[in-house]
Amino acid sequence: MGIKELAQGIDTVWVLLCAALVFFMEAGFAFLEAGFVRAKNSLNIVMKVFVDSTLGMLSFWAVGFGVMYGLDKAGIFGVSGFFLGGDLGHIDLRVPTYAFWLFQAAFAMAVASIVSGAVAERMKFGAYMIFTIICTAIIYPVAGHWIWGSGGWLAEMGMLDFAGSAAVHAVGGMSALAAVLVLGPRNGKYNSDGTMNVIPAHNMHLAFLGTFILWVGWFGFNPGSALSGLDMNIARIAVTTNLAAATGGMTGILFTMWRYGKADPSMAANGALAGLAAITAGTAFVGPASAIIIGMVAGVLVVLAVELFDRIKADDPVGAIAVHGVCGIWGTLAVGLFAAEGGLFFGGGIQLLLVQALGITVVSLWAFGTTFAVFTVLKKTVGIRVSAREELEGMDLVEHGISAYNELVTGSVLEKGIGGETVLKDMSSPVVNTELVKQ
């Protein structure tokens, strides 16, 4: 075996290991989102993430990868490589196409899983499956081709998005925003006078476990995007990734202590994830000090963004829009400010910042517009939302016929409904804690 073959073998093993780490992030999404929702909906959200990992991967294999990395058509999308066949020789790779595909497929699953948390507790399971196909076959791959594809128009302009603050996180976050606006808020979340009711997470231990799994998975997400185990820059990428996460999480704690008088656990977890989403674009281009600043800003933004979306009644049970959408946008712009080469604060002028601003604007509009259209069509055809009664009963029983916590009290009690009919009421929401009856 020669030096070239040995180097390729090392790179291939590196990419496969990183692909496994990114794939395992789906477990992080599952635990995070299950912890943030009510007990009666926790199994349903895990099933949605499982759909992302299965149906989403198959959709990306059949169509998405070709759209994203196939032979370029006018800088907009690829037209080869469907079903992992055809001409893929134009992709300049140091690893086998199969290894590269596996790594990229894990990214596609992550985009869909961002949306799953935002639409939790009220979206039909079948409608979500349809969206997963479209997201991993069209919405994400088209944006990805613009930024990463050979001949993509944003790539040709010089946009920098190393591991996907724009391509992955902003696409997922803006898709999530469009989805919740069409879907509407959960019953009982907002009052007629505009005030909001807190619907507590059922298990913050699960949410933090998911956060830690995602954090670890990011060491595959960002350093793995170098696509080489011999690239000495992967060490710096790992360090900037970790510093942004730590700073984002700590900022979430300190900022909520100042703003609310108590350290908010949900904002601590989301602060760390916000820092990770923000650093993903520039992790290879910025230094440790810049990574800390990027994470700090993300930790503040995620808190303010969650408040903003509640004010406009964009009900997001897990904060996915704030974490991935808002902080993905921030991270993309931050490259234009903090990149060691070309960044505004490092003597590079405004050119890179303008390219980053243009890129994140069109990518966000693409994700929001296409998802809004898809959800509108689904709403008028198959329907996207369960009935009020089904929502009250819980998605686990309605959609899957089983509870995640069988024979345990999950916060629901029986109550006499309209016409004397016995219905389930959810004790975890303050607006339904009245007129209980003994059975």
Q: What pLDDT, on a 0 to 100 scale, did the predictor assign at position 265? A: 97
pLDDT over 60 (residue 417):
no
Residue, of 415 and 6, whose pLDDT is higher: 6
pLDDT at 391 over 50: yes
- What mean pLDDT comes out for the span 240-246? 99
pLDDT, residue 408, reads 59
∠ at Cα 343 (93, 236), nearest 5°?
A: 55
- Tokens 């076959």 — which residue? 137
| Tens digits of residue pLDDT in 399-410 | 999 999 876 544
pLDDT band per the 50, 70, 90 thresholds, residue 92: confident
62-92 b/e (C-beta count within 10 Å ≥ 16 → b): ebbbbbbbbbbeeeebbebbbeeeeebeeee
The 10s digit of each residue's pLDDT in 319-376 is 999 999 999 999 999 999 999 999 999 999 999 999 999 999 999 999 999 999 999 9
> What tens digit of pLDDT does each residue of 30-53 get?
999 999 999 999 999 999 999 999
Reported pTM: 0.92
Cβ-based neighbour number of residue 302 at 10 Å: 33
Question: Rounded mean pLDDT of 109-121?
Answer: 98
Are 279 and 330 in contact by the 8 Å Cβ rule? The answer is no
Domain 3-380 in CATH 3.40.50.10860: no
| Angle at 288 (CA atoms; ends 304, 332), nearest 5 degrees | 50
- pLDDT tens-place string over residues 203-221: 999 999 999 999 999 999 9
> Lowest-confidence range among 105-109, 240-244, 409-413?
409-413
- For residues 275-285, average pLDDT: 99
Residue 104 pLDDT greater than 80, yes or no: yes
Token readout for 185 is 């808020």
Using a pLDDT cut of 70, give the percent of the chain over it: 92
Domain boundaries, the chain: 3-380, 390-432
Task: Give the alpha-carbon dihedral of 158, 164, 170, 172, to 10 degrees.
Answer: 140
Q: Strand 422-426 to strand 72-73: parallel, antiparallel, or no bridges (unpaired)?
A: unpaired
Confidence band of 233 (pLDDT split at 50, 70, 90):
very high
Q: Are 76 and 138 in contact (CB under 8 A)?
A: no
* Measured CA distances, 153 to 27, 159, 328 (Å): 34, 9, 20
Where is pLDDT greater, at 432 or 40? Answer: 40
H helix count then E strand count, the chain = 17, 4
Q: What is the pLDDT of residue 407?
A: 62
- Mean pLDDT for the chain? 93
Residue 438 has pLDDT above 50, yes or no: no
Instruction: Give the per-residue pLDDT at 4.
Output: 87
Count Cβ atoms below 10 Å from residue 313 Cβ, excluding itself.
14
Nearest CA among 258, 256, 331 for reference residue 297: 331
Taking 50 as the threshold, does the pLDDT of residue 428 lie above it?
no
Lowest mean pLDDT across 182-186, 284-288, 311-315, 429-433 = 429-433
Burial of 419 (0-12, 13-18, 19+ CB in 10 A): exposed
Q: How confident is the model at residue 432 (pLDDT cuts 50, 70, 90)?
A: very low
- Region 104-110: mean pLDDT is 98
Task: Please report the pLDDT score of residue 1 as a whole number.
Answer: 75
**Residue 356 pLDDT:** 98
Q: For residues 112-140, give the mean pLDDT.
A: 98
